[in-house]
Amino acid sequence: MTTLPDPRVRAALADGFGRVAQDLRVSVTDRCNLRCTYCMPAEGLPWMPKPEMLTDDELVRLVRVFVELGVTKVRLTGGEPLLRRSIVDVVRRIAALEPRPQIAMTTNGVGLARVAADLAEAGLDRVNVSLDTIDEQVFRDLTRRDRLADVEGGMTAAAAAGLTPVKVNAVAMRGINDEGVADVLGWCLDRGYGLRFIEQMPLDAQHGWERAQMVTAEELIARLSERFELRARPETARGSAPAELYDVVGYEDLEGQQATVGIIASVTRPFCGDCDRTRLTADGQVRNCLFSRTETDLRGPMRDGASDDDLAALITGEMRVKRRGHGIGDPDFEQPDRPMSAIGG
């Protein structure tokens, strides 16, 4: 059981609008073994040189400082986090922190079967697997890789290892996989996985995102309702979670509870007012928002001998300048220079 820090300490991560960050997203690498069309070009991207990446000691130290400032949840992301060879040990070291944060991971699932049991033993609490389609050909076209069977095997291994509830993140794209969204939901319901659809956001390396091509939350709900009876949960049940939850009437999850499907409408129904997240990139930059155009360097000061108090001051300073919202709908909105693979989900 996680023991929460004193509320006076947690207020250190407050921004100018009264939001308090308790959820830290940590990108452990910018590398990925898929080449999803909406994320990066077929040839990949110029990967971060290893000397620029945080070492294990540096990464764990920074996570500890965040935890001491009030973070209670840590999510390990990438790129693809399983490509960091030391990932099991990183999980074990974060799990040893006091107070112990909840630890989750977002992965594409390709290598999950190999390490699911080790991750669970090390202290990982649960996983989210990114899976946009269950159609083999569409999967190959989207990811430019023939690895759907590996992803399915990874999810099975995660459930067997107790990394539950296993959650699935899916992005619906017009003319690509939007016709199959109900199939993905049915597939997840049959296996007891929790599914969340995410509106496509302007975070691609090619900067080719167009709002008109995005499948909206309203469209997703309409398509799913053609096959399933959905019942919206009260808004008050959502809290700071990004997903609007809908009960799927007549279905239960693996624990015998009411099965749900979530819709994360980051673009059409932004939830910035309830945001409790902050982010740490693989090269040691803290970002107060996924769409931030600026970031604060922690790696440089740390390597120059900064104390924990010095690092904490840099982190809290970054949080204080967090904007009211991501501004996707604003006329002057600019997409971040870093693509999603270099920020972390």
341 is in an annotated binding site: no
Helical segments of the chain, H only? 7-10, 56-68, 87-95, 112-122, 136-143, 148-160, 181-191, 217-225, 299-303, 308-320, 340-343
For the beta sheet containing 73-77, the strands, ordered from the edge strand earlier in sequence to the opposite edge, are 230-232, 244-252, 258-264, 194-198, 167-171, 126-130, 102-107, 73-77, 23-27, 277-280, 285-287, 296-297
Collapsing DSSP states into helix, strand and coil, what is residue 25?
strand
188 is in an annotated binding site: no
Phi, psi torsion values for 196, nearest 5 degrees: -130, 125
**Residue 218 to residue 268: CA distance in whole angstroms:** 9
279 is in an annotated binding site: yes
277 is in an annotated binding site: yes
278 is in an annotated binding site: yes
3 is in an annotated binding site: no
Is it true that the peptide bond before 165 is cis, omega within 30 degrees of 0?
yes
Report whether 116 contacts 154 (CB < 8 A): yes
**Of residues 100, 92, 93, the one with CA closest to residue 71:** 100
Report whether 256 contacts 165 (CB < 8 A): no
**Of residues 22, 25, 18, 19, the one with CA closest to residue 5:** 22
323 is in an annotated binding site: no
39 is in an annotated binding site: yes
**Residue 76 to residue 28: CA distance in whole angstroms:** 7
Helical segments of 41-86, H only? 56-68
32 is in an annotated binding site: yes
50 is in an annotated binding site: no
CA angle 175, 33, 124 (to 5 degrees): 105
167 is in an annotated binding site: yes
How many Cα atoms are found within 13 Å in the side-chain-facing hemisphere of 102?
11
Q: Which residues contact 210 (CB under 8 A, 6 or more apart)?
A: none
Binding site as annotated, residues for [4Fe-4S] cluster? 32, 36, 39, 272, 275, 289
Residues of the binding site: 25, 32, 36, 38-39, 75, 79, 106, 130, 167, 201, 272, 275, 277-279, 289
Provide the annotated binding site for GTP.
25, 75, 106, 167, 277-279
- Binding residues for S-adenosyl-L-methionine, as ranges, are 38, 79, 130, 201
